Chain A
């Protein structure tokens, strides 16, 4: 059986704009949420999905990559990075009512934003964000949109209206097939994200970012944010710490120290 080659492919990529992991911030003792005051950046985990989307559109010979993001304070700096890589446009949901959203609330917002982004053949996400790392959002979005899904993709190829995906497993990988449209989460490190060119960075400044409020998406404020979160942090406690170890400067004897330490533990 021969399938019509897809010559036009629209890919939506969910991206998160997060505080720089080099400066992870702190916990607000009153609200018990992460304090996110500094500038946000594109979560590196999402750069792989953006790269893969660009490659798939290239391979199809037409179409575009649309970004979807939810962020406070109309933040676009992370989106601009992905637009500079080559994404065509973005939908940004920014609304004070979203503060305190849990993974399920976040998924409800992203699912609506994906619908607003237009007809997609494929939706890509990271396997988890670097700051919240619940890892449930991809499947939650897929279920909300009624789509088939594959998580932990190492590679994606499109054959007609089918996606063929290599999925990471405990012991290797599985070859998976599913019909499009589908949602796929992409394992970090499986492609090399391109660096934005100077031209790309300049072009990104004028690419359209459709900023919306939850009302524009038809979302009831009681289902998201603090109001909608079905969970609540009741306490933040200091975890037990390890006793301080012996830290020495290597003067050529570091190796002997390690050998003696391993001998003492009887592992050698």
Chain B
């Protein structure tokens, strides 16, 4: 195998490894001779078993950052390892808040570009290329690096299926953060209570868009989602308009979802939205414009007014 060492930036919350990390490990072990992780939590020992079971042989752990945002210190730590000759040939980051921060910082440290929005990777003649969807996923561009520097890829969630390899727990090695790296600090965390399944993991997602007409009508999306045990989502247009928080956003900005059923209500299907949901197994679209691009990906399309269809649908489902 031509790619010798891949590092995967691992993320975890309360000892639970993020799905994106496991997805990247599944792909990395088909491409690299050695797959290792880099991690900045205090609990590397706790997650080493899971990382190992998914194919990582080692975890390079910086330890707790004392509340510092990960971007600057982790990039400095990886860059120091590269400069010392102990670094990876390739680094995978998930397209997450911290993943993008570290990737951007590392790119400058190493004067190496980043291939972003990657949904697939291939080994072509001994070097990795990234596949990135453009124009709402109607076309894919395939990009290669033209330098011999460390190769940095930013990978979109849900691009690969997480799968155990049956490996033993990863060994934990210390990865020091160079002295004197100053970063912004987290002083307090706020977790917003949410009921129902998360947008990432729900089997059914119901999203609303501008076609709802006004902010109050979004309640119909919440009602329908509750009735179906689904997660409510939103188009960028109504997030930008302040109807719902950013965490609801499905699209190239926001979450990538691949549920069993995706219901798009009053969403026209801008490129930016399609990229985030066209991988759904079944897509139902309701929109009054027969020319709306959302119908090009719909398995069932209803040309009609969401404000007429949704109340009837909620009523019919509640009556069951």
A190 to B239, CA, bound (A): 9
> Among the interface residues B114, B142, B184, B301, which one has the most CB atoms of the partner chain A within 10 A?
B184
**When the two chains form their complex, are residues A134 and B134 in contact, meaning their CB atoms are under 8 A apart?**
no
A127 to B253, CA, bound (A): 9
A136 to B104, CA, bound (A): 5
Within 8 A of B (CB), among A232-254: 232-239, 241-243, 245-250, 254
A268 to B203, CA, bound (A): 12
Interface-forming stretch among A4-12, A78-86, A255-263?
A: A255-263
**When the two chains form their complex, are residues B260 and A265 in contact, meaning their CB atoms are under 8 A apart?**
yes
**When the two chains form their complex, are residues B142 and A189 in contact, meaning their CB atoms are under 8 A apart?**
no
User: Given the complex, which residues of A lie within 8 Å of B159, measured CB to CB?
Assistant: none
- For residue B16, CB closer than 8 A to chain A, the reply is no
**When the two chains form their complex, are residues B282 and A265 in contact, meaning their CB atoms are under 8 A apart?**
yes
Taking CB as reference atom, which chain B residue is nearest A228? B113
**When the two chains form their complex, are residues A133 and B117 in contact, meaning their CB atoms are under 8 A apart?**
yes
- For residue B95, CB closer than 8 A to chain A, the reply is yes
A23 to B55, CA, bound (A): 44
Which listed residue, B186, B247, B300, B308, touches A258 by the CB 8 Å rule?
B300
**When the two chains form their complex, are residues B317 and A259 in contact, meaning their CB atoms are under 8 A apart?**
yes
Which listed residue, B116, B187, B228, touches A135 by the CB 8 Å rule?
B116
- For residue B215, CB closer than 8 A to chain A, the reply is no
Which listed residue, B145, B182, B286, touches A231 by the CB 8 Å rule?
B145
**When the two chains form their complex, are residues A107 and B108 in contact, meaning their CB atoms are under 8 A apart?**
yes
Known contacts A134-B117, A171-B192, A188-B236; decide if A258 and B112 are in contact (CB<8 Å). no
Which listed residue, B96, B192, B270, touches A21 by the CB 8 Å rule?
B270
- For residue A31, CB closer than 8 A to chain B, the reply is no
> Among the interface residues A135, A150, A154, A188, which one has the most CB atoms of the partner chain B within 10 A?
A135
Which listed residue, A149, A230, A261, touches B146 by the CB 8 Å rule?
A230
**When the two chains form their complex, are residues A254 and B142 in contact, meaning their CB atoms are under 8 A apart?**
no
**When the two chains form their complex, are residues A256 and B104 in contact, meaning their CB atoms are under 8 A apart?**
no
1/0 per residue B182-195: CB within 8 Å of A? 11111111111010
**When the two chains form their complex, are residues A237 and B316 in contact, meaning their CB atoms are under 8 A apart?**
no
- For residue B223, CB closer than 8 A to chain A, the reply is no
User: Given the complex, which residues of B lie within 8 Å of A230, measured CB to CB?
Assistant: 112-113, 145-147, 149
Q: How many residues of B contact A (CB 8 A)?
A: 95
A265 to B155, CA, bound (A): 31
Which listed residue, B107, B115, B190, touches A172 by the CB 8 Å rule?
B190
Known contacts A134-B116, A149-B72, A230-B113; decide if A248 and B303 are in contact (CB<8 Å). yes
Within 8 A of A (CB), among B192-216: 192, 194, 203-204
1/0 per residue A133-152: CB within 8 Å of B? 11111111011100011111
User: Given the complex, which residues of A lie within 8 Å of B85, measured CB to CB?
Assistant: none
A195 to B130, CA, bound (A): 40
In the complex, how many angstroms separate the beta carbon of A234 from the nearest chain B beta carbon? 5
Interface range for A: 35 or more
User: Given the complex, which residues of B lie within 8 Å of A182, measured CB to CB?
Assistant: 184
Which listed residue, B97, B113, B295, B313, touches A168 by the CB 8 Å rule?
B97
Which listed residue, B114, B189, B299, B302, touches A134 by the CB 8 Å rule?
B114
1/0 per residue B204-239: CB within 8 Å of A? 100000000000000000000000100000001001
A142 to B116, CA, bound (A): 18
Known contacts A151-B97, A262-B261; decide if A255 and B313 are in contact (CB<8 Å). yes
In the complex, how many angstroms separate the beta carbon of B112 from the nearest chain A beta carbon? 6
A258 to B204, CA, bound (A): 13
**When the two chains form their complex, are residues B141 and A235 in contact, meaning their CB atoms are under 8 A apart?**
yes
Which listed residue, A165, A236, A250, touches B303 by the CB 8 Å rule?
A250
Taking CB as reference atom, which chain A residue is nearest B200? A170
User: Given the complex, which residues of A lie within 8 Å of B320, measured CB to CB?
Assistant: 268
**When the two chains form their complex, are residues B71 and A188 in contact, meaning their CB atoms are under 8 A apart?**
no
User: Given the complex, which residues of A lie within 8 Å of B316, measured CB to CB?
Assistant: 255-256, 259
List 27 A-B residue pairs with CB atoms under 8 Å apart, sorted by A's residue number: A21-B270, A104-B113, A133-B252, A135-B100, A135-B154, A136-B100, A136-B114, A139-B108, A143-B109, A148-B72, A149-B184, A152-B246, A189-B242, A230-B147, A232-B145, A234-B129, A238-B139, A239-B138, A245-B295, A247-B290, A249-B290, A254-B302, A255-B312, A259-B316, A262-B261, A265-B261, A268-B320
Could you list which residues of chain B lie within 8 angstroms of chain A, going by C-beta atoms? 13, 69, 71-72, 75, 95-97, 100-101, 103-105, 107-109, 111-117, 124, 129, 133-135, 137-147, 149, 154, 182-192, 194, 203-204, 228, 236, 239-242, 246-247, 252-253, 260-261, 263, 270-272, 278, 282-284, 286, 290, 295-305, 308-309, 312-313, 316-317, 320
Could you list which residues of chain A lie within 8 angstroms of chain B, going by C-beta atoms? 21, 24, 26-27, 32, 44, 102-104, 107, 127-128, 130, 133-140, 142-144, 148-152, 154, 165, 167-179, 182, 187-190, 192, 229-239, 241-243, 245-250, 254-259, 261-262, 265, 267-268
Given A245-B300, A246-B301, list of 13 further CB < 8 A pairs?
A104-B108, A135-B154, A140-B104, A151-B71, A170-B96, A174-B188, A176-B186, A182-B184, A231-B145, A235-B142, A245-B298, A247-B301, A261-B284
